[in-house]
Chains A and B, each alone.
Chain A
Amino acid sequence: MRFENPSNFIKPYQEQEKEKQEEIKLAPETEKWLAFIAENDKERAELLRQIIIEDIKAQREIKKPNSPWQEYTKKIKEEIKEPEVASLLIAGTPFVAAAGAFLGYSLFGGSVEAATIGSATTVFFETSSLWGEGAAVAIKEFISKLKQRIEKRSQSKKEPQAKDEVK
């Protein structure tokens, strides 16, 4: 009778444990923001939490050295001479990270350091202290205003449609 090598079981277990250890802990500022939203809308706060966690996980995946994103952007990175552009590109994935990079850059004065702060946009969600209270308030206001604007645009598109349906 042949027995399976025990390391075949141990390895996946160790990997699972490692994954658990890498569990995402959100920054205190993010937790405060989510708690504030939850006061009026618990469901939205929970959905936002899930989106943020998924976003961080996806960013971690694409930042791995052999990820398809690294391959896709390799040539661009090699040719970019401007450090600000390079910093933004590193963060400039189609995720919330991209928004964070631009926020960091615009809030902190448009320098390479600022872009780097932005490029660590996970900072906003995961560790926070670099952003400071003032920036955190500005970001919350920005997200809230952008939400209103998107809803308004979507509403004004629906209204003419509704009128057409009445006709």
Chain B
Amino acid sequence: METLINFLKEINLSPETIDFYYDFFELLPAKDTITKQKTIDLFITLLKKFLEIKPQSEVRELLEIQARSLKSFVLGDLENYQKAINDFFSFLKSHTTSKNPESEITK
């Protein structure tokens, strides 16, 4: 867990978002402790892969949006959930080159 928190701090996530991921992985049910650790390691590996290709600011933005959407789901907060989804699609729009209308999300 400590490795995860340190890693999230390194990429400058907001303290609220770090708290959320801490709670998420601490409470996450797992088959056993080894599997739980493996899951956390996998999350870190996935983010590191992202960071090899995408700028830190984008990875951070995605993680913040993800935390907001998951939080809203858990709380049953539809309004903020929709906001997070819209932010995600806006994020994609501004970070992809495809302007083909067929590939645009028409939500």
User: In the complex, what distance in Å separates the CA atom of A147 from the CA atom of B81?
Assistant: 15
Contact with B along A118-151 (1 / 0, CB 8 A): 0000000000000000000011011101110111
Residues 54-77 of A at the B interface (beta carbon under 8 Å) = 54-55, 58, 61-62, 64, 66-69, 71-72, 75-76
Closest B-chain residue to A135, C-beta based?
B29
- How far is B9's CA from A163's CA once the two chains are assembled, in angstroms? 29
Asked if B3 is at the interface (CB within 8 A of a chain A CB), the reply is: no
Binding site for B on A (CB under 8 A): 44-45, 47-48, 50-52, 54-55, 58, 61-62, 64, 66-69, 71-72, 75-76, 79-80, 82, 84-85, 88-89, 92-96, 98-99, 102-103, 105-110, 115, 138-139, 141-143, 145-147, 149-151, 153
Report the Cα distance A85→B20, complex, angstroms: 22
| A84 and B42 contacting across the interface, CB-CB below 8 Å | yes
Interface size on B, residues (CB 8 A): 55
Among B36, B62, B103, point to the contact of A67 (Cβ < 8 A). Answer: B103
Say whether A94 contacts B35, CB under 8 Å: no
Given the interface pairs A72-B96, A88-B42, A153-B19, the reply to whether A107 lies near B29 with Cβ below 8 Å is yes
A106 B92 Cβ-Cβ under 8 A: no
Tell me the bound Cα distance from A61 to B103 in angstroms: 9
- Chain A facing B: main interface SS: helix
Q: How far is the CA of A76 from the CA of B73 in the complex (A)?
A: 27
The listed residue (B42, B76, B103) touching A68 by CB distance below 8 A is B103
Interface: B82 (CB within 8 A): yes
Give the chain A neighbours of B31 by CB distance below 8 A. Answer: 106-110
* Given A67-B105, A103-B29, A150-B20, A55 and B73 contact (CB-CB distance below 8 Å): yes
A149 to B28, CA, bound (A): 12
A68 touches B27 (CB 8 A): no
Given A54-B85, A92-B46, A94-B62, answer yes or no on A106-B29 (Cβ-Cβ < 8 Å): yes
0/1 string, B67-79, CB within 8 A of A gives 1: 0011111111110
